[in-house]
Amino acid sequence: MAVAESDIDKSMGKVRHYGANDLEHIGRVLARSQQRRVSAEEATELGILFYLSGKMARIEEAMVRGERPDDDSIFDLQYYAQMIRRVRAAGSWPGPIEREENDE
């Protein structure tokens, strides 16, 4: 629970700061490259998967060098996966933010 609470607290500022426009934009570019149309929800998910694949490439690069990936990279992997789960549950990123009263 302590790790989960810490992850949530660490994430809330980023959620508010970055928003989701880039995620949907990148997803739509990817969908167009496949000559298909997608909903805003699916475009956002594709955008997150794009970022996740970039993070995986960095992790693989560390492994090739014989190093362990840094903690931030591991956090980001699980966070991107959680973002996809949130998009699927809420229909968008970030969707309604319920923890606002605790996040000052």
Quick: pLDDT tens for 43-78.
999 999 999 999 999 999 999 999 999 998 998 898
How much is the mean pLDDT over the chain?
87
> Could you tell me which of 1, 49, 93 has the C-alpha nearest to residue 9?
1
What are phi and psi for residue 56, nearest 5 degrees? -60, -40
pLDDT band for position 99 (50/70/90)?
Answer: low
Q: What is the pLDDT of residue 11?
A: 73
How far apart CA 9 and CA 102 sit, in angstroms, is 9
Cβ contact 20:44 at 8 Å: yes
Is pLDDT at 16 greater than 60 in this prediction? Answer: yes
Q: What is the pLDDT of residue 41?
A: 95
Q: What is the pLDDT of residue 8?
A: 73
Tokens of 20: 């989701």
pLDDT band for position 24 (50/70/90)?
Answer: very high
Average pLDDT of the segment spanning 14-18: 71
Tokens of 92: 């968008």
Q: What is the pLDDT of residue 1?
A: 78
How far apart CA 43 and CA 30 sit, in angstroms, is 8
